[in-house]
Amino acid sequence: MSRAYIDDVSAERLALLQEQNLELSRLVAELRNEAALRTQFLSNISHDLRTPLTAIITHGEILRDGILGELTLRQKDSVGGIIGGGRQLLDMIGEILTYARGAAHQLTLTRTEFSIASAVEQVCTLNESLVAKKKLDLTVNIEEGLPPLYADRDKIAHILGNLLGNAIDFTLPGGRVWITCSRGAPTERGHVLLIEVGDTGIGIAPEHHDLVFREFAQVDASASRQHHGTGLGLAIARKFVELHDGRLWVESSRGKGSRFFFTIPVRSAP
């Protein structure tokens, strides 16, 4: 085989590779553009849906709070239902928007120093009425002397809120729900906090453990009718945990309750 022939083939292959590289770069740019457009679209839709909901909820609160005159208890309950439905819809719109930002890699962390106990307390307070309504036994156990977290407080509270919300939704009245925070086994990157949100609810069959973390997935259609989520809660929780370089997983079997665990590396504030 002559040298000139080899040079010709090499040049031809190089040109082909360069052409393929260009095509790949073009495709990557196109995909990025599409993801950005999709996020912008979801962001606009979210704003447009929130606006009329704002009017509905504000009018409801004017009535419920007696600003136009006292209502009977039954009337208050009815208006409370309108407000509750509206707020639930707002939360769902918020989840869709958060998911879209995560999918477009637009989520960032705003780190501050705080104790995990304060975030747990905040989330428990928010869920107090739901826990009481279902007559659940909610217990919190926080190991003494845990170091503070240097993390995104809102996102940690969001993770806890999604996990606790699921635990409450999928546990029958009279059941138990718990949150435990302790030191986890250190990883090669250092110390971690281990947080568990557990329940004595309906549980998840092992073959469905991966499915529950997928977007828009709910294992049981009849459960999803009772459960008020978008099917994004656990996908978002996992995204938020991973943004902190932590890990989220579940241990559960059908009818035996569920135990969700996540780790958050302990970092010191700069």
Partner 1 sequence: MLPHILLVEDNALVIDALTMLLEETGHRVSAATTLAQAQRVMSEESPDVVLLDLTLGGEDGLSLMPSVNATRGTRPIVVALTGHDDPETHARCIAAGCRTVLVKPIAAMKLKGQLAEWLGERAAF
Q: Which residues bind partner 1 (CB under 8 A)?
A: 43, 46-47, 50-55, 57-59, 61-62, 65, 67-68, 86, 90, 94, 110, 154
DSSP code, position 219: S
Nearer to partner 1, 66 or 186 (CB): 66
Q: Which residues of 33-47 are buried (b: 16+ CB within 10 A; e: fewer)?
A: eeeeeebeebbeebe
User: Smaller CB distance to partner 1: residue 20 or 108?
Assistant: 108
Least distance (Å) from partner 1 to the CB of residue 68?
A: 6
Q: Which residues contact 204 (CB under 8 A, 6 or more apart)?
A: 212, 219, 250, 252, 253, 254, 258
What residues does 151 pair with on adjacent strands?
112
Question: By C-beta, is 35 or 53 nearer to partner 1?
Answer: 53
Q: What DSSP string describes 172-208?
A: -TT-EEEEEEEEPPPBTTB-EEEEEEEESSS---GGG
List the one residue out of 138, 163, 238, 251 whose CA is nearest residue 204.
251
Do the Cβ atoms of 117 and 195 come closer than 8 Å? no
Least distance in Å: CB of 55 to partner 1? 4
Q: What is the nearest approach in angstroms of partner 1 to the Cβ of residue 255?
A: 38
Nearer to partner 1, 49 or 142 (CB): 49
Closer residue to partner 1 (CB): 136 or 149: 149
- Please report how close the Cβ of residue 43 comes to partner 1 at its closest, in angstroms: 8
Q: Minimum distance between the CB of residue 168 and partner 1, rounded to whole angstroms? A: 23
Name the minimum Å distance from CB 162 to partner 1.
16
> Whole-number minimum distance, CB 158 to partner 1, in Å?
11
DSSP 15: H
Residue (of 178, 83, 89) closest to 136 by Cα position: 178
3-state secondary structure of 209: coil
Closer residue to partner 1 in complex, CB, 59/176 = 59
- Residue closer to partner 1, measured from CB, 59 or 227: 59
Contact 64, 71 (CB under 8 A): yes
Scored b (16 or more CB within 10 A) or e, 15-25 reads eeeeeeeeeee
